[in-house]
Amino acid sequence: MRAGSPVKLTFDLNEQTYQVETVNEQSNPDEGTAEETDVEEEPKEIPAVPLPETFLLYSAANTSEEVTAGAIMFTLFPDGRSEYGLLRFRNRDDNTMFTLFIDPSGEPELFEGEAVFE
């Protein structure tokens, strides 16, 4: 991944996998900034990686939607900001629930139980 490139993090609840992809950007020499481009390029992604088998990702939410099946995507920015996120896991061994809260302006936090944020 290039420094300064936003990252798309996608979780697939059906397949229990995640995938990382950098957003295609190009430098704008007139402004000295990077911007998204509509030019088709080879995706800069890693293959889907299985989540640990001990944990079942059963629910996820971002700023646009909440899902219990299918895929959901989160955007992580190079300055440390991220899109709001909520990932709920169940430990398959003892049924303990965990919630990972992705704070858009801070560090992710892990809570035991099924936390709800308004």
Residue 117 domain-assigned? no
Domain region containing 104: 7-112
What DSSP designation does 23 have?
P
* Total domains in the fold of the chain: 1
Residue 118 domain-assigned? no
For 1-34, the pLDDT digits (tens) are: 446 889 999 999 999 999 999 887 654 444 444 4
Alpha-carbon torsion 108, 93, 95, 75, what sign? positive
Position 28 scores a pLDDT of: 46
Q: How far apart are CA 95 and CA 73, in angstroms?
A: 26
The yes-or-no verdict on residue 51 having pLDDT over 90 is yes
Residue 1 domain-assigned? no
Is the pTM here over 0.75, yes or no? yes
Q: How far apart are CA 28 and CA 34, in angstroms?
A: 6
CA nearest to 34, candidates 74, 4, 1:
4
Tell me, what amino acid is at 93? D
For 80-118, the pLDDT digits (tens) are: 899 999 999 999 999 999 999 998 988 899 999 998 776
Cβ pair 99, 87 in contact under 8 A: yes
Residue 65 domain-assigned? yes
